[in-house]
Amino acid sequence: MNRVSIHFLPDDVKIEVPYGTLLLDAALEAGVFIRAACGGSGACGQCKVRVVKGSVEALMEEKVHAAARAAGYVLACQTRAISDVTIEIPLAKVGRKVIPRDEAERMRLTARPMESPIVPEPDPMTIRVFMHPPAPATHDNVSDDERLMRTLKVEHEIYPVAAGLDVLKQLPHEARKEDWEFTAYLEVETCHDTHNPWYRLTRVQAGHPSYPSMALAVDIGTTSLWGELVNVDTGEVKARASRYNPQISMGDDVISRIVYALKKDGLERLQTQVVKGINEIVEECLQKSKLPVDCITYMVAAGNTVMTHLFLGLYPKYLREWPYVPAAHNVAPVPASVLGLNLPPQTHVRVFPGVASYVGGDIVSGVLANGMWQDEEMTLFIDIGTNGEIVAGNKDLLMTASCSAGPAFEGGGLEFGMRAAPGAIEGILIDPETFEPMIRTIDSKPALGICGSGIINIISQMLKIGILNQNGKYASDAKTPRIREGRSGLEYVICWAKESGLNQDIVLTEVDLDNILRAKAAMFSGYTCLLDKIGLTVDALDRVIIAGAFGSFINLDHAVTIGLLPDIPREKFLFIGNSSLKGARLACIDRKLYQKSREIAHAMTNVELSEDPTYMDNFMAALFLPHTKVELFPSVQLGQ
């Protein structure tokens, strides 16, 4: 048998693959989402699927509980199809879209939402000019390009103009289709020496388009992709869309993706996946706005250094090898066709500049959006996400670092962790006497797992009522059947199998707790070190701005209780949401702000925490709840 058929449920997708293909590889080829945090090494055990019908060869059976094995569960990354098979993916691992949540409805936030204080002046990167020059004649038989440029200069005061071969190939046809009525698309550039504008002709289109000129703003996150279709003349967002980053199937964090990129065809596959996700966003935005793809005149993207490398197809190996050198920080505009994007061929893509190996364009875009680069106020800017970037300072000084918190706060690396989707446990209240929980799930669906806000919530509750010690271990003498011995130490049963949507107990293990402690310690020690470099303490901060999709739903009191955020007056905290996307949107509207982002990146001083001898001391001190130095958290009441 040379080929076998694999039927994936509940997506109802079928694909034929060579005999012996790994289930994870087949899913990737079929476009079926299966979470594989470790990139397919078998280390994380999160890609469990159930074999409904057919024969497979399981390579690492010990990673799956005996009871689960008996029910047909295997690891997709370690199981080969050796016959036609039907595979069921557990509901907690299904999903490509990021599910937005209504903040007011989902949970009470204890900080003010913040909109960007930056007001862009419409000044697009690409302009459209409708032209109707006189047709060629015996007395005026200049070349088509000279006729176009003469008209631009005389009638529109647009000069000098450069035109590449691609657009010159279009010009003779498009100019004559509508009797010399056509639209020229011109990129606006600024001369570094004179600061005067010059123009690059990128497209010629017959007639006068009736639709508005649009740009696409994109945030390329490690976990998710977000996009907005923006009217460049008014700044109005006509449509937005989001997806999980399809690269998740090749690794949850940037390091695992770099490792994957070094495999044969790994970099090409990673690039293909992220481009596929962006193309889906483009398609959805166009459907929502009822606009044609030709309306998109350019795209601006922001991502961390690794995500930018993978999007552009740049070799990322040396980002993880000392001295951690990127291939490039500043990249010239790239034609969409070169990247495989489903945009007009000569639409150019610009990416935000990076700062260092793990401080990329997303944080530069965030700083642009939050305005700290122009403010007197001393600000701590935190992006609570997989990469954990932080910036401290004001208009006179900007220091930055990346503390690699990992995906734990987004559900990654946890036995029953999941992202914010229907069925995710996001709120919990534990009875201090019986230790029985009352849980709240997104959309009130049967529990499938626990998301970031729920993780912080439950740990905070446990610490306060005393069933969790400061070192992140369960109190073994707690009188409750919910604390029991598991595979890797004690675990707490959040939801019994009969009440869950998985037909198995949903638990929080001590290994999970250790992962959370490491993640929050990385964040806290990161900004402690950064503030030390400036000579400040958290009390001297005027404000703390929290960014990231996860940060938008965090409860401050719970986050302070576990030691993730500093214990300072709550009114100092602000939530800006997805600042990376907001910065990209600003740059779409006002090209001067994109130029400003380059100045911001140049002004930011990076601190390599791995080279800082005090970082590990701070990290070890933060590996407790809330901290070894409890006096740093005066508002936190610990259980007895």
In the chain, residues under CATH classification 3.30.420.480 are 214-351
pLDDT (tens digit, 9 = 90+) per residue, 518-557? 999 999 999 999 999 999 999 999 999 999 766 556 788 8
Fold held by 126-206 = Ubiquitin-like (UB roll) (3.10.20)
Fold held by 371-405+522-632 = Nucleotidyltransferase; domain 5 (3.30.420)
Residue 549, pLDDT score:
60
In the chain, residues under CATH classification 3.10.20.30 are 3-93
**C-alpha closest to that of 95 among 228, 243, 229, 225:** 243
Parallel/antiparallel/unpaired status of strands 334-335 and 489-495: unpaired
610: exposed, middle or buried (Cβ count in 10 Å: 0-12, 13-18, 19+): middle
**C-alpha closest to that of 291 among 220, 345, 367, 216:** 216
In the chain, residues under CATH classification 3.30.420.40 are 371-405+522-632
In the chain, residues under CATH classification 3.10.20.880 are 126-206
Residue 590 — φ and ψ, nearest 5°?
-130, 105
d(CA 518, CA 622) in angstroms, rounded, equals 8
317 is written with which tokens?
A: 């190996």
Residue 113 — φ and ψ, nearest 5°?
-70, 150
pLDDT (tens digit, 9 = 90+) per residue, 164-190? 999 999 999 999 999 999 999 999 998
Residues of the chain with pLDDT below 70 are 1, 36-41, 91-111, 549-553, 639-640
Residue 640, pLDDT score:
54
d(CA 3, CA 151) in angstroms, rounded, equals 61
Please answer whether residues 340 and 272 qualify as being in contact, where contact means their C-beta atoms are separated by less than 8 angstroms: yes
Strand ordering across the sheet containing 449-450: 437-441, 424-430, 449-450
Instruction: Give the containing element (helix H, strand E) for 169.
Output: helix 165-177
d(CA 174, CA 478) in angstroms, rounded, equals 78
Which residues are CB-neighbours of 265 under 8 A, at least 6 positions away?
Answer: none
β-pair partners for 219: 226, 302
623 is written with which tokens?
A: 């590996």
Question: Residue 438's CB: how many other CB atoms inside 10 A?
Answer: 9
d(CA 387, CA 222) in angstroms, rounded, equals 8
Residue 39, pLDDT score:
58
β-pair partners for 483: 492
Q: Give me the DSSP letters along 200-225.
A: EEEEEEES---SPPEEEEEEE-SSEE
Please answer whether residues 203 and 343 qualify as being in contact, where contact means their C-beta atoms are separated by less than 8 angstroms: no
Fold held by 214-351 = Nucleotidyltransferase; domain 5 (3.30.420)
Task: Please give the CATH superfamily to which domain 3-93 belongs.
Answer: Beta-grasp domain (3.10.20.30)
Residue 68, pLDDT score:
85
